[in-house]
Amino acid sequence: MTLLHEAMTRLDEVWADAAEATGLSRQQLIDANDAIGMLRRRLDGLQADIAAGIAHESRPELGPESLAKQQGYRSPAKLIAATTGVSTGDASRLVAVGEATAPRADLLGAPRPAKYPLVRRALAAGAIGAQAASLIISLLDRCRIAAGAERIADGERMLVESAAGMALDDVRKLIVRAEAQLDPGGVDERGEQQRAQRSLTIFERDGMAHINARLDVETAAPIITAIRGYVTAAFAARKDTPDENAPDADRRTVQMLQADALSVLCAHAIGCQSEKLPLSGATVIVRMSLEDLESGTGSATIDGIDQPISIGAARRMAAGGGVSPCVLGGDSEILDWGREKRLFTRAQRLALVERDGGCAMCGLPPEMTKAHHLRWWKRDRGRSDLDNGVLLCETCHHRIHDNGWDIRIDGVGTSARVWFIPPPYVDAARTPRLGGRARFDVAA
């Protein structure tokens, strides 16, 4: 409760100078948002404890003495949902988090630590919220048998450390990567199950054709890559248009462009005479370690897609056209060209994608990024080397230059780490923020 009181006091201090949000300065808005986030996460920790207590007092063996039934509800989740305004599913997840992080007792009543003590500690400190905790706990429970107690404990530590400060969408990406590490044998089994569930339906309604697809990663990879390549090329062409207000200017939305991309690709497939489509050099890149490739176990990743695939699937994809396998750990091309080349080579870009995963700052897929020199080629006589390059989307590139952010790269080659250093008005201490693929790297 002390930590909760601290968070409430902090919010009171921020809010004291203004009667409403419109009266706050920019810095006060940031401080208030941070204080609300901390308060919400610490409340989550307290609510998870309360939910576990309600569930314990509502266990089936109590019969009519069940707390939930006495209050007029069929289950503890129904009680919590009704009194907090969340869905029954969210309430059930809250109970699961509370039970997995609550102190336990053995058969003789002796106290035992929580099933996941580090998740409990992070919840209490406000480092993560209940939804992130639920994702982590669900993953650890799924992998508990396959990974073993020691690796599960290591996984809990790494996930809690990595998830702190992450948005929930990024935590989901982290979970996908972690599952491939904790249960590599399950990647192939899950891939086969997903492949068996792939489907595409086409029907007409209200004068429009509706196409709904549900695809496994192996099937979807070339489709996603080609469509993204078309969209990227379309946006690049817009930059060359001198007048955005011209009658013939391209004003299509991303969704429209994606629909047009599918039409263009299919027209080409059924007889279009063009030998080259405007896909901005789109290629499916499948990445795997040499050890995994030779052993046939483990997993591989596809640039721009979060879900890993099995080595068997990677081999099948590499046998097809338009797919480039990138095997790490063996001999490779020279990746540092110094001042000999102005632009980064294709091999260097592949290495940058391996290190950064896409836009190193916001995480957009690789095909939506460009390789930029940290020390400019002309002004600073910067070299076209990996430790002087970073992948950024157009928006983040402008944000870096316009708002005074700095970039630092620690290490060498594809194992290096990219750090973004905020300007003093964002963070007076200028604490570096980890970027690139390393944000989601939970491998021991």
The whole-angstrom separation of Cα 101 and Cα 106 is: 15
Amino acid symbol at 434: L
Helix 149-163 with 130-147: angle, nearest 10 deg:
160
Q: pLDDT: is 313 or 53 the higher one?
A: 53
Pairing of strands 323-328, 284-289: parallel
The whole-angstrom separation of Cα 223 and Cα 205 is: 24
Q: For residue 37, what are the contacts with CB-CB under 8 A and spacing of at least 6?
A: none
Q: Is residue 381 in some structural domain?
A: yes
DSSP string, 190-213: HHHHHHHT-EEEEEEETTEEEEEE
Residue 245 has pLDDT above 70, yes or no: no
Residues 19, 139: one domain?
yes
pLDDT in tens, 356-384: 888 999 888 887 888 888 887 666 677 77
Q: Give the helix/strand (H/E) hosting 84.
A: helix 76-84
The whole-angstrom separation of Cα 309 and Cα 298 is: 9
The whole-angstrom separation of Cα 25 and Cα 331 is: 55
**DSSP label of 303:** T
Distances (CA, A) of 428 to 27, 421, 423: 12, 11, 8
Residues 11, 55: one domain?
yes
Residues 219, 165: one domain?
no
Long-range contact set of residues 366-373: C-beta below 8 Å, sequence gap at least 24: 366/285, 366/303, 366/304, 366/391, 367/225, 367/228, 367/229, 367/232, 367/280, 367/282, 367/303, 367/304, 368/228, 368/232, 368/393, 369/393, 370/394, 370/397, 371/343, 371/344, 372/397
Q: Look at residue 66 in the predicted model and tell me its pLDDT.
A: 93
Range of the domain at 350: 346-440
Q: Is residue 240 in some structural domain?
A: yes
Distances (CA, A) of 161 to 34, 118, 181, 336, 357: 19, 9, 16, 33, 20
Structural domain total, the chain? 3
Residue 35 dihedral angles phi and psi, to the nearest 5°: -65, -40
State the pLDDT confidence band at 97, using cuts at 50, 70 and 90.
very high
Which token pair is 291? 């050890």
Residues 176, 220: one domain?
no
Q: Look at residue 21 in the predicted model and tell me its pLDDT.
A: 59
Q: Give the helix/strand (H/E) hosting 229.
A: helix 217-239
Q: Look at residue 139 in the predicted model and tell me its pLDDT.
A: 95
pLDDT in tens, 302-331: 877 888 888 888 877 766 555 666 666 544
pLDDT in tens, 396-421: 888 887 888 999 998 876 678 899 99
The whole-angstrom separation of Cα 226 and Cα 233 is: 11
Q: For residue 66, is it left (φ>0), alpha (ψ between -120 and 50) or beta?
A: beta
Residues 242, 125: one domain?
no
The predicted model gives 164-184 an average pLDDT of 91
Distance separating the N- and C-terminal Cα atoms of the chain: 34
The whole-angstrom separation of Cα 44 and Cα 124 is: 8
Residue 199 has pLDDT above 90, yes or no: yes
Q: Is residue 57 in some structural domain?
A: yes
Q: Look at residue 332 in the predicted model and tell me its pLDDT.
A: 43
Find the length of the chain.
444
Average pLDDT, the chain: 83
Residues 240, 387: one domain?
no
Question: Which among 68, 65, 8 is positioned nearest to 32, based on CA atoms?
Answer: 8
Residues 167, 53: one domain?
yes
Residues 14, 163: one domain?
yes
Which of 153, 182, 211 finishes a domain?
Answer: 182
The mean-pLDDT minimum among 107-116, 133-142, 238-247 falls in: 238-247
The predicted model gives 97-105 an average pLDDT of 90
Residues 155, 205: one domain?
no
Q: Look at residue 378 in the predicted model and tell me its pLDDT.
A: 66
Which of 269, 298, 319 finishes a domain?
Answer: 269
Which token pair is 150? 């020691």
Residues 251, 166: one domain?
no
Q: Is residue 216 in some structural domain?
A: yes
Q: Is residue 129 in some structural domain?
A: yes
The whole-angstrom separation of Cα 194 and Cα 219 is: 10
Residue 280 has pLDDT above 60, yes or no: no
The whole-angstrom separation of Cα 13 and Cα 3 is: 15
The mean-pLDDT minimum among 134-138, 245-249, 273-277, 325-329 falls in: 273-277
Residues 213, 178: one domain?
no
Residues 49, 76: one domain?
yes
Q: Look at residue 19 in the predicted model and tell me its pLDDT.
A: 55
**DSSP label of 344:** P
The mean-pLDDT minimum among 15-24, 115-124, 428-437 falls in: 15-24
Q: pLDDT: is 213 or 354 the higher one?
A: 213
Q: Look at residue 444 in the predicted model and tell me its pLDDT.
A: 41
Q: Is residue 189 in some structural domain?
A: no
Q: Look at residue 282 in the predicted model and tell me its pLDDT.
A: 61
Residue 344 has pLDDT above 60, yes or no: yes
Which of 269, 284, 310 finishes a domain?
Answer: 269
State the pLDDT confidence band at 334, using cuts at 50, 70 and 90.
very low
In sequence order, what are the beta bridge partners of 137?
none
Q: Look at residue 419 in the predicted model and tell me its pLDDT.
A: 93
Q: Give the helix/strand (H/E) hosting 434.
A: strand 433-435
Q: Is residue 303 in some structural domain?
A: no
Residue 194 has pLDDT above 50, yes or no: yes
Q: Is residue 339 in some structural domain?
A: no
Q: For residue 30, what are the contacts with CB-CB under 8 A and spacing of at least 6?
A: none
The whole-angstrom separation of Cα 406 and Cα 390 is: 12
